[in-house]
Amino acid sequence: MEKNPKKQVKQRIFVIQILLVGCICLLVARSFEVQIFKARDLTKKAEQGYSKYLTIKGERGQILDRHLSKLGTSIDAPTITADPSKILDPARTATDLSKILKVKPRVLKEKLSRNRRFIMVAEKVSPTQAKRIRALNIKGIYLENDSKRFYPNRNLAAQVIGFTGKDNSGLEGLEFKYNAILEGEVVKIKVKRDGAGRVLDINKKRRSELKGNSLVLTIDKKIQFLSEQTLEQTVKTHQAKSGMALVMKPSTGELLAMAHYPGFNPNNFNASNRDTFRNRAITDAFEPGSVIKIFTVAAALEKGFTPKSIFFCENGKYRIGRFTIHDTHPREWLTLNQIIKFSSNIGVTKISETIGKKALHDYLTDFGFGLKTGVGCPGETNGTLLSHGKWSKIDAGAISFGQGLSVSAIQLISGVCAIANDGMLMQPMLIKKIISNTGNDIQVFQPTQLRQVVSTKTADQVKAMMNLVVQEEGTGTMAAMEGYRVCGKTSTAQKANKNKTGYEKNKYIAAFAGFAPQKNPELAILVVIDEPKKQHYGGEVAAPAFKTIMAQSFSYLNIAPENTKSMIAAVTKGEVN
C-alpha cells in the first residue's frame, strides 16, 4: 500500500522544521556561550589585535637663560620600528635604510629577516632622517613619536647645564641636579592600531600635558658667550692648562656667566674627555693667593685700623721661624692702602699677627670660606679652612696672603661681591625660577641676604684700596677702564703639590678679581687661569681678560660711564682715607 504523498511532504517539512529549530537552538546556545561566557577572553584577543598599551613619557622641560633663550631643549626624534612579517624584500629595505641611518646593510637585513612581529631598528633619529624614511613609505617600517635632548648653543655653559643620557635622564650639571623637576610624567595608555598594525596618532594634547617643568637661569646668554670667548683667547694666548671666568651682580648675587675653557659639546659628550664635564668653578678648590689680602685688610679695618695705619715691611724679607716670607719688591713702611696696592705679603702677615688668628679666621669664615655657598650645582666643595687652633705662626701669615687654605671660584667671587655690596654677603643665585609646562611660575627665587660681614664704611675703604690697584704703580693697571673706576685685586699663586708638601716649580694660578663702577658696582668678575706659560702674573694674564669681559658686558648692558670730573679728582687725590 502506497504512502499518501501529502503525508510524506508533511513529514519532510516536519523533519526540516526540527532540523532548523535544532540549528537555531545550537546557534543561540553558541551565541550565548560566545557573548556571555567567552566575551571577556574574546574581547581581549580583539583588543590585542587592534590596540595595545604604551608607556608614554612626557617631553623633558627646558633650561632657559634669564631672557628665556633656550640653553637646553628637546626636539622630535622618532624611533624606527619594524614588523618583519610584513616586509616583502628585507635586503632591499635594509639597503635603503642603511643609506639614511648610516648602519651596515647586512646588520639591518639580519634584523629585518627575523621571525618576529616587532624589532627596534633605530632609536631617536634626527628629524631629517625621519623625513627621508617616511618618504620611502616601506610597508612594515614604522615611526613612533619620541624626543631627544638638544643643546642649540653647543659648548655654551656646557659645564653648568650638563647633559642627559639615552633615556633622557640627567647625568651631569643642572640636568642631573634638577632631573626630578625637568623630566616629564610617565603614564601607561591604550592606543589603537590600524589594519596594518600601525599605531594611530597619540593625542598631542595629552603629550603636552605630560611635559616636565622648565628652569629659568640667572645666566645671560650674551655675557656667557663674551666670557667664554675671552677666556678661550686668554688660555690659548698664554698656553695655559685651563681657565674659568665668573660674572656676578653684587647687589643680588645673580650669576650672569660661569665660563670654562676647555669646554665640550653636550650634544656629543661621548667624544670629549670626562674631565671637561666638571663644573670646576663649583667642584674644584685651589689656593687663592693675593686676592685673600682684601679680606685680611677688611678684618684689620673692622678691628680699628685705618687705611693710613702703617706696617714695617722689612725691605722685602721677613723671617718667621725657619720660614722666610718675600715681597716682589723690597719696601720699608707701607700703609694699608699701599699694602693692597703693591700686594705686600709681609704687610698682610704683619696685619694677621696684630689682629690675631681668631679674628682672621672668623672674618674669613664670615666671608664664606670653608663653607658651601649652596648655589644649587652638584658636587660643590667646601674648600679648606682649618680651625685657627690648628694654625702655627707661619700658617696665620701664609693664610693672610692666600696660601694654606683653598677656595672655590664661586666662594671667591661671592666674597668679592660682599665688599662691592657694602659688606653684605649675598646667596649666589643660579636658578631664577621654575615654570610649568604651561608657562606659569611655580617657584620664583628672590635675592637672599646672608649676613653683614663688615660695615659699609669698611667696605668703602677696601673699595678705595682696590681702586688703587689699577692705578699707576699698582699691580693691576691692565684692568683699568676708561670712563669707569675699577676696583680689583691681582693674584699670582704657586700651585700646591698634590702628592707631597710644598709647591710645584714654575706652575702658577694667575687670577684677577674685581668690580666696577666703584660707587655703585654693577658687575663683579673673577678670572682664573691655570698654569699659564711665559707670563704668569695675575696682572699680566688675568687682568686684561677681566677688562675685556667687563667692557663688553657694560656695552651690552648700556651701563653709562661715570662722571669724568669726579674721576679725575679721585685720581689726583691719590690715597683715600
Residues with active-site annotation = 290
**CA-based nearest residue to 399, from 474, 356, 441, 349:** 349
Long-range CB contacts (< 8 A, 24+ apart) of 401-404? 401/289, 401/290, 401/292, 401/293, 401/296, 401/345, 401/348, 401/349, 402/287, 402/288, 402/289, 402/290, 402/291, 402/292, 402/293, 402/491, 402/493, 403/287, 403/289, 403/493, 403/494, 404/287
- Residue 73 CB contacts under 8 Å (≥ 6 apart), including other chains: 62, 63, 149, 150, 151, 152
Pull the grid cell for residue 35. 557573548
Pull the grid cell for residue 179. 632631573
Q: How many CA atoms lie within 13 A of 275 on its CB side?
A: 4
User: 391: how many CB neighbours lie within 10 A of its CB?
Assistant: 19
- Residue 299 CB contacts under 8 Å (≥ 6 apart), including other chains: 351, 355, 359, 360, 362, 363, 364, 454
Please give the single-letter amino acid code of residue 520: N
**CA-based nearest residue to 78, from 129, 140, 150:** 129
- Point out which residues pair with 184 in neighbouring strands: none
Chain mean position to CA 195: 48
- Residue 5 CB contacts under 8 Å (≥ 6 apart), including other chains: none
Please give the single-letter amino acid code of residue 130: A
**CA-based nearest residue to 278, from 370, 172, 170, 413:** 172
